[in-house]
């Protein structure tokens, strides 16, 4: 492992707080990572990392070295980009986190185009509803809904999604169809929980020009989007999701939209990636391609209803 590779490894360890996560992100054995850092510390004559049972932290000397490594690696990547344009052929492994629906319905069906354009890139796509730690888990970029909350990430808008509230015909036959938002209090909602947050037990609408939340009763909480939709199809209660996610069910009549005359808050969609002084060419080309894909599939940053 040369000095620049060792510096890259060191930066990953500091940012992830783990030898194992850094080694996995770079596709090297953990033992190789440990040996490389030991050699670096021996060469520099200073201890760079403090190891505990839970986390790896930089020493004061390590923190100063980390900041300089980030600058040097960014300058190296920038120099290479000048000599080899981004559009030429970025190389390496690109790790992407996607919501399952976005992977299966939007990104994967169009991915052959990206591969043909950048055949030297190897993609690792993970899916789920858990909000991952991009830096800690070595993820290069992720697609997320809602307003960005993490100031350490750069966010680029992909689309603005129209939402709908709906239920199965069987549920509405049994419980009745609400005609005003206030009637939602008498209905069951399927509750959704993400990570360690409290379950979301509300439905959101715009009333008199202002966003309002309406708590619902209910006996079921789920933690992934597929179970959320299936629970509604089974007649367990009301759900609220972007229209594109439910379009086929609505068209077939498996689900019925309720309160269609009442506006629902639009849901922004972003691609996010860690802040760097110089954005990696492989991340840049993928983010630019994602913007193209979402513009084609959902109309880009404008309101996407289908």
pLDDT number for residue 285:
93
**Please, what's the b/e burial string for 191-224 (b: 16 or more CB within 10 A of its CB; e: otherwise)?**
bbeeeeeeeebebbbeeeeeeeebebebeebbeb
Per residue in 128-156, pLDDT (tens digit) is: 767 777 877 778 899 998 888 777 788 99
Q: Tell me the whole-structure pTM to 2 decimals.
A: 0.69
pLDDT-derived band at 174, boundaries 50, 70, 90: very high
Name the residue among 55, 68, 92, 54 with its Cα closest to residue 3: 68
3-83 and 92-159+268-304 share one fold:
no
DSSP states of 58-119: E-HHHHHHHHHHHHHHHHHHHHHHHHS-TTT---EEEEEEE-HHHIIIIIGGGHHHHHHH-T
Could you state, in order of their start, the residue ranges of all structural domains in the chain?
Answer: 3-83, 92-159+268-304, 163-265
| pLDDT top residue among 232 and 78 | 232
Instruction: Give the model confidence (pLDDT) of 288-305 as tens digits.
Output: 999 999 998 887 554 454
Closest residue by Cα to residue 239 from 129, 162, 163:
163
Q: Which of 46-55, 83-92, 177-186, 193-202 comes out lowest in average pLDDT?
A: 83-92
pLDDT digits (tens, 9 = 90+) for 200-242: 899 999 999 999 999 999 999 998 889 999 999 999 999 999 9
The predicted-structure confidence for 234-265, as pLDDT tens digits, reads as follows 999 999 999 989 999 999 999 999 999 999 99
Kindly state the greatest CA–CA separation across the chain. 75
Beta bridge partners of 303: 160
Contact partners, residue 116, CB within 8 Å, separation at least 6: none
Can you tell me the distance from the alpha carbon of 103 to that of 126, in angstroms, rounded to the nearest whole number? 9
163-265 CATH: 3.40.190.10
pLDDT (average), residues 12-41: 89
According to CATH, the topology of domain 3-83 is: Arc Repressor Mutant, subunit A (1.10.10)
Count of CB atoms situated within 10 Å of the CB of 294: 22
Residue 195 predicted with pLDDT over 70 = no
Give pLDDT, residue 93: 85
Q: Which CATH class is domain 92-159+268-304?
A: alpha beta
């Amino acid at each position: 492992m040369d000095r620049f590779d060792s510096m890259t490894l060191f930066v990953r360890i500091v940012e992830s707080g783990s030898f194992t996560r850094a080694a996995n992100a770079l596709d090297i054995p953990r033992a190789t990572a440990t040996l490389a850092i030991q050699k670096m510390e021996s060469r520099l004559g200073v201890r760079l990392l403090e190891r505990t049972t839970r986390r790896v932290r930089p020493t004061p000397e390590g923190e100063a070295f980390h900041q300089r490594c980030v600058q040097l690696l960014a300058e190296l990547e920038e120099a290479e980009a000048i000599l080899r344009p981004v559009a030429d052929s970025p190389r390496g492994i690109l790790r992407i986190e996607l919501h399952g629906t976005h992977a299966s319905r939007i990104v994967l069906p169009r991915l052959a185009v990206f591969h043909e354009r950048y055949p030297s890139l190897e993609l690792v796509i993970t899916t789920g509803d858990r909000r991952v730690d991009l830096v800690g888990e070595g993820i290069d970029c992720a697609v997320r809904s809602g307003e960005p909350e993490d100031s350490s990430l750069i966010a680029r808008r992909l689309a603005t999604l129209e939402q709908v509230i709906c239920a199965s015909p069987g549920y509405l036959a049994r419980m009745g169809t609400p005609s005003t938002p206030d009637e939602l209090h008498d209905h069951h909602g399927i509750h959704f929980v993400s990570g360690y947050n409290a379950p979301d037990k509300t439905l959101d609408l715009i009333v008199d020009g202002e966003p309002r939340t309406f708590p619902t009763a209910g006996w079921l909480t789920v933690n992934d989007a597929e179970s959320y939709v299936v629970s509604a199809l089974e007649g367990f209660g009301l759900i609220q999701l972007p229209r594109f996610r439910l379009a086929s069910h609505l068209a077939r009549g498996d689900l019925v939209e309720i309160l269609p005359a009442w506006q629902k808050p639009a849901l922004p969609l972003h691609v996010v990636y860690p802040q760097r002084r110089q954005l990696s060419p492989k991340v840049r080309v993928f983010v630019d391609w994602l913007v193209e894909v979402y513009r084609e599939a959902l109309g880009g940053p404008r309101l996407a209803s289908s």
